[in-house]
Amino acid sequence: MSIENKILKIKKDLEYFDDELEKYEYIIDLGKKLDTFDESYKISKNLVHGCTSQVWLLCQYKNGKLIFIGNSDAIIVRGLVYIILDIFSNNTIQDLLDIDVDVLDELNLSEIITPNRQSGVIGMIRKIKEFSLKYYLKDKE
């Protein structure tokens, strides 16, 4: 599924809820779906800058695609991590480099999360782009 289609799916899911509190609770529930995150990954090298809470993000290259894993120490942020991983994980390097989308705007997340949380989402996406560029340059060597 393309990044754009993943965004549309999540947007549709969020639009199902009428009020902000229901959306907020839904995002928290999404965070409960995150895969187990090994404590050894919780190191400064894996921290996402710009987040109020601690967010760890790692990248693996498998079968021509980048796979992202991550977690946070805050329950709402775990849900946001889940959303970002769901959208961007399992895509090619080129797809990730080519995408230019404002996820916060597309999903109307700015309506329900604080500016500090929004900054964290932007930080996660920036780190994903950095990983993509790193693997792109590694492929060119």
How far apart, in whole angstroms, are the C-alpha atoms of residue 130 and residue 18? 36
Active-site amino acid positions: 51
Helix (H, G, I), strand (E, B) or coil at 61: strand
How far apart, in whole angstroms, are the C-alpha atoms of residue 28 and residue 22? 10
Helix (H, G, I), strand (E, B) or coil at 92: strand
User: What DSSP element (H or E) covers 60?
Assistant: strand 55-62
How far apart, in whole angstroms, are the C-alpha atoms of residue 112 and residue 1? 26
Specify whether the CB–CB gap between 63 and 10 falls below 8 A: no
> No. of H helices and E strands in the chain?
6, 3
